[in-house]
Chains A and B, each alone.
Chain A
């Protein structure tokens, strides 16, 4: 047994305990929050280009919003480049915003029921926006009347 210089017994360091079990949930630990955090950074950087480019073209360039109309949209969406741009922007922005609002709900809604229903409302709106937006981009018909 180890002793200190003056001969007194050294303070006891207990053996490491077995890993603590999570008290309530039996669910396996995941790295979901880490991936969500990383997604916010990666999607954010892409959105800087996608969204600021979109705002510049739509609101500032060449007369801005005054020149937008059905014909303008039809002209842009004739090109796969802009359809891909808009689809990517739609999905990334909606997921980025959904995760942001999920964080806001987690921060401010304290009752478990309130948190649950707000998040369900959020996820329903997310699926609606992504589905509708993608559907419109994929099924766009320039000859509709």
Chain B
């Protein structure tokens, strides 16, 4: 096996895996956007048809999928900022790995409270602590 050249951004390790995750989250978000524009278009049909489809968004299982969507979008956004910095900031390529770990820390810091607020109502409905 030939050894991978040193200093490669996109082969192996953090550079490659962040690229893979960026691609997977991107495709996922694209397909959600397609569905989301179609369901929102129901506001042009009637209030009740729109409220019916939005009711599925409020159900516990879809609510959990929304947490996944928000987590995916947040990763894609933060990693996109990292890509812009790699391309336009002079020292970007040198610090790409540090930027990825910073990005992951920020991601966790934002996803944890975000998840709490997003599933609060679902937890309360399922386990009946309030309202």
Residues of A within 8 A of B46 (CB): 144-145
A4-48 interface (Cβ within 8 A of B):
41, 44-45, 47-48
Instruction: Verify if B101 is at the interface (C-beta below 8 Å from A).
Output: no
Does A59 interact with chain B (Cβ within 8 Å)? Answer: yes
**B interface: dominant SS:** helix
Do B63 and A139 touch across chains, with their CB atoms under 8 A apart?
Answer: no
Question: How many residues from A make CB contacts under 8 Å with B?
Answer: 39
Q: In the complex, what distance in Å separates the CA atom of A72 from the CA atom of B84?
A: 35
With contact pairs A73-B50, A136-B41 given, residues A59 and B66 touching in the complex (Cβ less than 8 Å) = yes
Is B73 at the interface (CB under 8 A from chain A)?
Answer: yes
Bound-state Cα–Cα, A141 to B41, Å: 12
The interface of chain A, by Cβ under 8 A from chain B, is 41, 44-45, 47-48, 51-52, 55, 59-60, 63-66, 68-71, 73-74, 90, 93-94, 97-98, 100-101, 104, 125, 129, 132-133, 135-136, 139-141, 144-145
Q: List the 6 closest pairs (A to B, CB-CB), nearest first.
A: A70-B47, A97-B30, A44-B80, A133-B37, A60-B117, A48-B77
